[in-house]
Amino acid sequence: MKKPPLSALFGVALLASITSAQAATRILYINGSDLIAGSGASASLFGIELPDFGTPAAIINLSLPQDYKKDSPVILQTRLGGGGISCNVTLKAMAAYRARPGVKVSLVLGSTSGFTIVSPGTFATPSVNSKIFTKDFKLKPATAGPVLGQRAGDNVIAVIMRNGATPGDTCTNSLTVVSIKMIYTTP
């Protein structure tokens, strides 16, 4: 029996590695200029400014990409600026509006919306004013409302709120949402 040429074996190995590597983690960036200033917040050249009073909000409007794996979690790594002094800030995953063709728009508050903060909402800012730091939020399939689950093409409006009135928020200066790094999985 004749052995296949080495190049044929290499081609099979290469094809196998490409096939197994198709499921991957992908990254999309949402610039601060593409975010929306909610109640109490303001837009600036650098992004969305969240002052230390009231409950200002930054609004992220996104569509899940066509290569998104159904019902897998999405990490929204919020890139923040501010600080300049060592202090604490309190952020909260306030709500998620979801829309899907043929389904009534869904507004759900709190964790049943599928939008949550990954770790405690109160955290320290860097003492260096020009240093960017991050806070992760997670977008999971919705368990309440008319738009259940999470699919490619779903439109999601996620609301991040600062609560400067809580005792844990000790920063007296504004916090800027500079951009969002969206990390998702493909099938």
Q: List pLDDT tens digits, range 157-185.
A: 999 999 988 889 998 888 999 999 999 99
Bridge-based pairing of strands 115-117 and 74-81 is unpaired
Q: Is residue 15 part of a domain?
A: no
pLDDT tens sequence across 59-87: 999 999 999 999 999 999 999 987 667 78
Would you say residue 104 lies in a domain? yes
d(Cα 77, Cα 169) in Å, to the nearest integer? 20
- pLDDT tens across 104-138, in order? 888 888 777 889 999 888 888 887 666 788 999 99
pTM of the model as a whole? 0.83
Q: Quick check: is 2 in a domain?
A: no
Residue 142: inside a domain? yes
Is residue 77 domain-resident? yes
Asked if the structure places residue 17 within a domain, the reply is no
What range does the domain containing 165 cover? Answer: 24-185
Q: Taking 60 as the threshold, does the pLDDT of residue 53 lie above it?
A: yes
Whether 179 is covered by a domain: the verdict is yes
Q: What are the angstrom distances between the C-alpha of 131 and each of 1, 29, 74, 92, 179?
A: 66, 19, 25, 22, 14
Integer Rg of the chain from CA = 21
Helix locations, the chain, DSSP H: 6-20
| 181 Cβ neighbours under 8 A, 6+ residues apart | 27, 28, 29, 30, 75, 76, 77, 79, 134
Structural domain tally of the chain?
1
Query: In the structure encoding, which two tokens stand for residue 89, read together?
Result: 């800030």
Q: Name the pLDDT band for 11 (thresholds 50, 70, 90).
A: very low
Sign of CA dihedral 18, 62, 115, 32: positive
Which of 180, 173, 175 shows the shortest CA–CA distance to 158? 180
How many Cβ atoms from other residues are within 10 Å of residue 62's Cβ? Answer: 18
Q: Residue 82 in contact with residue 176, Cβ under 8 Å?
A: yes
Establish if 36 belongs to a structural domain.
Answer: yes
Q: What 3-state DSSP class applies to 14? A: helix
Mean pLDDT of the 34-52 span: 93
CB 161 within 8 A of CB 175: no
Three-class SS state of 111: helix
Q: Specify the pLDDT at position 13.
A: 38
CATH number at residue 105: 2.60.120.260
Q: What letter does residue 33 receive in the DSSP assignment?
A: G
| pLDDT given for residue 79 in this prediction | 94
